[in-house]
Copies of this chain bind each other. A is one copy, B any other.
């Protein structure tokens, strides 16, 4: 594996794991007022397309990273709709 690929993996791990503390925060506080609904909607649409892109390209890292991110975004989205 080329050295730069490790940078790509580290980037993917960070931008995926980032959504864990955000999902936990809204789960615990039940407060989502400062989170943009449009942000959540556009992210879900975009991350879903990344998932399709990873599947079409048979890229397991892209599929895993975006699959986890999509699940965490869905948690944030449901709480955003449920608790204003």
Copies held by the complex: 2
Residues of B contacting A16 with CB < 8 Å? Answer: 46
CB pair A17–B42 under 8 Å, yes or no, is yes
- Residues in B with CB closer than 8 Å to A35 are 22, 34-35
Q: Identify 30 residue pairs between A and B in the complex whose beta-carbon atoms are under 8 Å apart, listed by A's number.
A: A8-B53, A10-B46, A11-B49, A11-B53, A12-B46, A13-B46, A14-B43, A14-B45, A14-B49, A15-B47, A18-B38, A18-B42, A18-B46, A19-B39, A21-B36, A21-B39, A21-B42, A22-B36, A22-B38, A24-B36, A25-B36, A25-B39, A26-B34, A29-B34, A31-B33, A32-B34, A33-B33, A34-B34, A34-B35, A35-B35
